[in-house]
Amino acid sequence: MGKTKVSNAIIRRLPRYRRYLGYLQTKGIKKISSNELSEMIGYTASQIRQDLNTFGEFGQQGYGYEVDRLYKEINKILGLDREYKTVVVGVGNLGQAITNYTYYYKIGFNIIGLFDVNPKIVGNVINDVEVMDSADLEEYVRREKIDIGIICVNRENAQRVADELVAGGVKGIWNFAPIDLDIPEGVALESVHLSDSLHALSFMIKRMNEEAAE
Amino acid sequence: MGKTKVSNAIIRRLPRYRRYLGYLQTKGIKKISSNELSEMIGYTASQIRQDLNTFGEFGQQGYGYEVDRLYKEINKILGLDREYKTVVVGVGNLGQAITNYTYYYKIGFNIIGLFDVNPKIVGNVINDVEVMDSADLEEYVRREKIDIGIICVNRENAQRVADELVAGGVKGIWNFAPIDLDIPEGVALESVHLSDSLHALSFMIKRMNEEAAE
């Protein structure tokens, strides 16, 4: 399976499938056809069948998908059937929110280290984890074999933090700093650019106002 | 200009242009060519020229772009040359972080109302704004002519909150609940699905591990 080329687009679609299947589970729904999934998610049924066929045979023609089984399989595909040792760097407002968020949805992303440069924050305890000094980040990441680093520092410090995480040996970085990080091949990078998202919203509002004014 | 069809892709690229131009400003850089921009941002120079030409004549052949002027123009294009009356619904960890985030980066998104259903939170004051009871949301949105509603409630309540915001007359919704909201035409919707993003990261890590194991 490793050789299968997986497009960037499918990386975006798979978590959505998981999200909808999780929702169906909470509703007690046991099976669903690709047409029904299509109606919920908004992708075509053939797109859905094709996506899922990339990873195996999960459906049965004329029957559809078993929700529980498909949910479990998608968890496996997404790498959610294991645990990730995770650190958060930058424990300001956003860092704390992300820490709490990840803690709350505990599904394998175990935050075992928090780091900050601010001496007023170092030593604080959040969800049973003490905030450490960022100066010790790289060594800690190496020693504890950290899998994922979550970057919640400002733009000026984000690349340096990323370099330290990479030097320490992380496998992936979840970046919230408003910068496109330079990361070597072999390390996964996923960024959440909140300001880009907010500005996309204001842009859409502006376009709608202009259209309404015509 | 209202008639120009603007693709979904350009909505994603424009905030990035703004972000890089803002960065260049902090570095004191006064002008930049589309080739230099291309090297920084990773889009082709012709893509950049084409994107910017959609909105006017900002560059000069053989000279490039004036950073300050282009930054200002992009702000205008993105609708960042005005203020937006904004409310946040759901003032838990994430809601508070988003409130603080938006407050901190104050560039027109003025949070004037906070709402929550939890009586323990109602009455609290965050950045000089008192948390109100969600029961009063729709009336408040209508009375105060709120432009944007930020949804930070859980999946189960997000659609109801969205319906109330829409009924109250918001122009746009910034949604952080893990659900794809159903919003009528004429209201802009932008969602940040944190769990999708985190799962995309674990998926990429898994693929890299598999490739490394081959």
Q: Does B188 sit within 8 Å of A15, measured CB to CB?
A: no
Residues 6+ apart with CB under 8 A from A14: A51, A74, A77, A78, B199, B200, B203
Global confidence as pTM: 0.90
What pLDDT score was predicted for residue B2?
Answer: 41
Predicted complex ipTM: 0.92
pLDDT tens digits, A128-141:
999 999 999 999 99
Rounded Cα–Cα distance for residues B162 and B155 (Å): 11
Q: Does A2 sit within 8 Å of B213, measured CB to CB?
A: yes
Give me the total of CB pairs closer than 8 Å, taking one residue from chain A and one from chain B: 194
pLDDT tens digits, A45-94:
999 988 888 887 777 777 789 999 999 999 999 999 999 999 999 998 88
Out of A96, A187, A199, closest to residue B78 by CB: A199
Rounded Cα–Cα distance for residues B91 and B78 (Å): 27
pLDDT tens digits, B99-152:
888 776 667 899 999 999 999 999 999 889 999 999 999 999 999 999 999 999
pLDDT tens digits, A93-129:
889 888 888 776 667 899 999 999 999 999 999 889 9
What pLDDT score was predicted for residue B5?
Answer: 59
What pLDDT score was predicted for residue A106?
Answer: 64
Q: How far is B188 from chain A (nearest CA, A)?
A: 6
Spell out the SS3 assignment of chain B: CCCCCCCHHHHHHHHHHHHHHHHHHHCCCCEECHHHHHHHHCCCHHHHHHHHHCCCCCEECCCEEEHHHHHHHHHHHCCCCCCEEEEEECCCHHHHHHHHHHHHCCCCEEEEEEEECCCCCCCCEECCEEEEEHHHHHHHHHHCCCCEEEECCCHHHHHHHHHHHHHHCCCEEEECCCCCCCCCCCCEEEECCHHHHHHHHHHHHHHHHHHHHC
Q: What tokens appear for B186 in the block? A: 């004429």
Q: Does B94 sit within 8 Å of A101, measured CB to CB?
A: yes
